[in-house]
Amino acid sequence: MDVWYSRPIFFVKDPTEALTFYVDKLGFKQDWAHVHEQQLIVVQVSRDGFELILNKDATRAGAGRIYFHLDDHQVQALRQEVESKGLTTKARHWGMPITEIADLDGNELFFDSLST
């Protein structure tokens, strides 16, 4: 069976600031980066097998959304982790209860589990 490998892209105004946010607040690690004329243009971050590309494009920044389904204990642990770093999570309903985290540009990360 063939497998399609994919990675979502979030457009951001400032990849350096976005990288700091994803690493320091959300616990991602930097995988690779593309620098042009001493400016960070594209960077990939990952966490627990999930890979995300952050691409500089101020005109498109903030319109992305990613949905994750995690086990109950994973969502609780994530909430505690990011809130301990000063990040606010938001309880929302999106056909089911979810926990929302927005990045600096307004891109949304939606997390759900059976008990959220």
pLDDT digits (tens, 9 = 90+) for 7-64: 999 999 999 999 999 999 999 999 999 999 999 999 999 999 999 999 999 999 999 9
**pLDDT at site 95:** 86
The band of 1, judged by pLDDT with boundaries at 50, 70 and 90, is confident
Q: Decide if 100 is inside a domain.
A: yes
Q: Decide if 2 is inside a domain.
A: no
* pLDDT over 60 at 107, yes or no: yes
Strand-strand pairing, 97-102 and 29-36: unpaired
80: closest CA among 49, 111, 108, 104? 111
Q: Decide if 64 is inside a domain.
A: yes
* pLDDT over 80 at 115, yes or no: no
Residue range 59-88: mean pLDDT, rounded: 94
Q: Decide if 3 is inside a domain.
A: no
* pLDDT over 80 at 108, yes or no: yes
- The CA-based angle 29-35-37, given to 5 degrees, is 155
Domain range for residue 59? 9-112
Tell me which DSSP letter residue 115 carries: T
Q: Decide if 60 is inside a domain.
A: yes
Q: How many domains does the chain have?
A: 1
Residues 6+ apart with CB under 8 A from 92: 98, 99, 100, 110
Neighbours of 56 (CB within 10 A): 20
Q: Decide if 1 is inside a domain.
A: no
Q: Distance (Å, rounded) from C-alpha 116 to C-alpha 111?
A: 9
Q: Decide if 4 is inside a domain.
A: no
Q: Decide if 55 is inside a domain.
A: yes
* CATH number for the domain that contains residue 78: 3.10.180.10
**pLDDT at site 116:** 45
Sign of the dihedral through C-alpha 10, 66, 8, 84: positive
Considering the chain, what percentage of its residues have pLDDT values greater than 90?
85
Report the chain's mean pLDDT, rounded to a whole number.
Answer: 94
